[in-house]
Amino acid sequence: MYELQALIQGKIPPQAINIDRLIVLAEGYPIPNSAEYKLLELAINMVLASYLEKAQKYL
């Protein structure tokens, strides 16, 4: 979670996030109303958005 906080605060780029760890966290926090899920979802959205940006050049 510390890593995700750093991402949201702009201290590390989305590419620095460990994706497997992201999946483990998403499996561990499945309740949409929990604060952990919200933090996780925001961070995942940021990472996914950055990958979608990167994917543009291959379309």
Site for another protein, rule CB under 8 A: 1-2, 5, 8-10, 19-20, 22-23, 25-27, 29-30, 32, 35, 37-42, 44-49, 51-56, 58-59
Reported as type and span, the H/E element at residue 1 is: none
Taking the alpha carbons of 52, 53, 54, 55 in that order, is the dihedral positive or negative? positive
For residue 43, give the 3-state DSSP assignment.
helix
